[in-house]
Amino acid sequence: RNKEYNKAEKVFNDIRKSFEDSEYKTAASYYLGVINAQYAKDEKNTNLLFSKKSKAKQYFEEYLKDAPDGRLANECVNQINSLGIPLNQQDYFLIGQIYFKNNDYKNAYNSFNKSYMASSWAYLSRIYRKNGEYQKSMILFEQNYPLYSKNIDEDNLQAVIEAYAMQYPKGA
């Protein structure tokens, strides 16, 4: 069985090298994640088990960074969550972005609350607004915009500013 994993891993790594700037590389990242996750399920050696799970997480995250709107993005998040390994604040931020893009605001909120406020405040403000919690949204914006507006991407910054501007006249 290990020979099969190693052979498949080599093929997908070759694809990643041969097609560096293409969808094939992105898809290969997903399949390398699946291979390593499956290998981990079959592994008895705890050191190798953790190593394979960590590699699987790395490949799934590469897919998410390259294709956050990709057809396998949700599956990557599910796979990462099922690995049972510790996640850091950057992991939670990336996962939160995928949930947010898929309108899963409850899980996005939970993930963003485990990530750096400097990166996640705009998403959290937008989630509060979408949930009708305008006051919380405004407070979060007003507290964090002056400090962290340079830490978020332009599209998210524009969206949070527009959301703030739309609710500000309401004062609610």
For 110-158, the pLDDT digits (tens) are 999 999 999 999 999 999 999 999 999 999 999 999 999 999 999 999 9
Residue 22 has what DSSP assignment?
S
Tell me how far apart the terminal alpha carbons of the chain are, to the nearest angstrom: 61
pTM for the whole thing? 0.88
CA distances 20 to 12, 16, 29, 67, 79, Å, are 12, 6, 11, 14, 24
34-82 confidence digits (pLDDT tens) = 999 999 988 888 888 899 999 999 999 999 999 999 999 999 999 999 9
Helix (H, G, I), strand (E, B) or coil at 162: helix
Contact 100, 108 (CB under 8 A): yes
